[in-house]
Amino acid sequence: MSTPVSKSDPPKSDSVPPPRAQAPVKPGAKIIGTGHYTPERVVSNVELEKTVDTSDAWITERTGIKERRIAAKGELTSDMAAEAARRALASAGITADQLDMIIVGTISGDMPMPSCAAFVQQKIGAKHCPSFDLSAACAGFIYGLSIADKFVRTGAARYVLVIGVELLSRILNWEDRTTCVLFGDGAGAVVVGPTTEEEANAGRGILATHIFTDGALAPALLIPGGGSREPFSAEVLEKKRHLVHMAGQDVFKAAVRYLASASRAALASVGLDAKELDWVVAHQANIRILEAVSNRLEIPMSRFYVNIHKYGNTSSASIPIALDEALAEGKIQEGQTVLMCALGAGISWGSALIRW
C-alpha cells in the first residue's frame, strides 16, 4: 500500500519530476560536417566544340555552364564518394567508425550490385553500419538528407553520412549534344548528427524536408537499356540505350514548377517567408532554371549560390558540392537560413530548409 504524500513532503528520488515551465524542444538533426571532391581534369566548352556539334556560346547562353570535371581513367564513383566522405568526416570531427549509417545518392555507382555505399563503407573504414544506395537521380542528396534527418531525430542513429556522387561521363552518349554538354562528375558529402538542446531551443538545425515523385514523367529522363526491361544486348549497345536519354524541355518545365512548389512547401511548413531566407543552394542543372525559380519565389538571384559554370550538372552531387563551397567561402554564416531544392529523373524532387 502506498503512503499518501503530503504537499510539503520533499519529492522521492524516483518520483516523476514536476513539469517544466516550458516544454523542452525535441532534439533535432543538423549538418555537422561537409566535404566535396571533384576530379582534376577540367573540360571546357571550347574543348567540347572539337568533338561535338556545339559551341561555347550556345552552352553558356542556354545553360550557364563553362566547364565541367571528368573523372580520370580508372577513377571510380566510390573513390570520389570516399574522398568527399573523408573530408566531411574531418570537418565534422568524427571518425568513420562512429557512423551509424551511410546513404549514397547515385545512379552511376561502380556496378549494379552491390551498392556503391558498400564500397564507400569499406574504403573509409566504417565497420558494419547499414550502407545503401538511393536512386532519386538529381534529387538523391535531398532524399538522403530527409532520411538521415528522420533517423537522427528519432534517436535511431546518431551520425549518418549522406553522399551525393555521380560519374555521369561514363553513361553519357558523347555524340548526343543535347545531353553530353550538360553533365559533369563529382561528389559531395555531409554528416548529419543531433542538435544540442541549446541549438534545438534556438530553432537551429534541419527545419523541414519534403520529397516528391511523379512517375508519370519518368519517360522524360531515363537510361532505358541495361536493366531488366531491356537487358544488355548487341541492340541495346548499338542503339546506345544504356546511356542517358532526356527530353530537355519537359524536364525544364517540371523543374521550374516543382522546385518552386517544393520550396514553398518547405517555407510554409515552418511559417517562414521567402524574404527571410539568407541562401538558396539549389540543384545546379541550368542557370535559366535557377533564374525562373528565383522569379517565381521572388528571391533575388544574389541569394542563390551558383557554381554551375565550373562543374555543369553533377546530379546528386551538385547540392553538397555547392554547400561545401558556400561554407568554405564564408557565405553561409551561423544562424542563417538556407533553402535547398533539387529535381531529377523519376521525376523526383524535394526541398530542405536548414537554420545553420
Distance CA 240, CA 278 (A): 43
Closest to ligand UT7 by CB, 177 vs 331, is: 177
Closest to ligand UT7 by CB, 120 vs 285, is: 285
Q: Which residue is catalytic, options 116, 180, 313, 341?
A: 313
Residue 188 CB, nearest approach to ligand UT7 (Å): 15
Q: Which of 164, 344, 346, 350 binds ligand UT7 (CB under 6 A)?
A: 344
285 binds ligand UT7 (CB under 6 A): yes
The site that binds ligand UT7 (CB under 6 A) totals a number of residues, namely 20
Residue 115 CB, nearest approach to ligand UT7 (Å): 22
Distance CA 105, CA 212 (A): 15
Whether 283 is catalytic: yes
Distance CA 75, CA 88 (A): 20
Q: Which stretch binds ligand UT7 (CB under 6 A): 126-134, 230-238, 283-291, 348-356?
A: 283-291
51 binds ligand UT7 (CB under 6 A): no
Residue 67 CB, nearest approach to ligand UT7 (Å): 14
Residue nearest to ligand UT7 (CB): 248
- As given in the structure block, the three cell numbers for residue 298 are 521572388
203 binds ligand UT7 (CB under 6 A): no
Distance CA 194, CA 30 (A): 6
178 binds ligand UT7 (CB under 6 A): yes
Q: Which of 29, 43, 71, 138 binds ligand UT7 (CB under 6 A)?
A: 138
Q: Which residue is catalytic, options 138, 210, 286, 341?
A: 138
Closest to ligand UT7 by CB, 80 vs 251, is: 251
CB atoms under 10 Å from CB of 305, counted, come to: 21
Strand order in the sheet with 131-134: 29-37, 186-194, 160-166, 101-105, 131-134
CB atoms under 10 Å from CB of 127, counted, come to: 9
Residue labelled with grid coordinates 553522399: 163
249 binds ligand UT7 (CB under 6 A): yes
Query: For helices 77-92 and 318-328, what crossing angle results, to 10°?
Result: 40
Q: Is 143 helix (H, G, I), strand (E, B) or coil?
A: helix
Q: Which stretch binds ligand UT7 (CB under 6 A): 20-28, 157-165, 229-237, 285-293?
A: 285-293
Distance CA 308, CA 287 (A): 7
Which residues lie below 8 Å from residue 30, measured CB to CB, with a gap of 6+?
192, 193, 194, 195, 199, 204, 205, 206, 354
Closest to ligand UT7 by CB, 32 vs 65, is: 65
Residue 176 CB, nearest approach to ligand UT7 (Å): 9
Residue 182 CB, nearest approach to ligand UT7 (Å): 6
Distance CA 184, CA 296 (A): 27
78 binds ligand UT7 (CB under 6 A): no
> HSE-up of 338 (CA within 13 Å, CB side)?
25
Rounded (5°) CA angle 194-279-267: 70
132 binds ligand UT7 (CB under 6 A): no
Q: Is the dihedral of CA 326, 331, 332, 333 positive or negative?
A: positive
Closest to ligand UT7 by CB, 124 vs 182, is: 182
Whether 138 is catalytic: yes
Closest to ligand UT7 by CB, 59 vs 126, is: 59
CB atoms under 10 Å from CB of 329, counted, come to: 10
Q: Which of 25, 41, 47, 58 binds ligand UT7 (CB under 6 A)?
A: 58
CB 203 within 8 A of CB 355: yes
Q: Which of 34, 38, 45, 63 binds ligand UT7 (CB under 6 A)?
A: 63
- DSSP character string of 92-125: HT--GGG-SEEEEE-SS-SSSSS-HHHHHHHHHT
Active centre residues (catalytic):
138, 283, 313
Report the interface residues with ligand UT7, using CB under 6 A. Answer: 54, 58-59, 62-63, 138, 177-178, 181, 248-249, 251-252, 255, 285-286, 289, 313, 315, 344
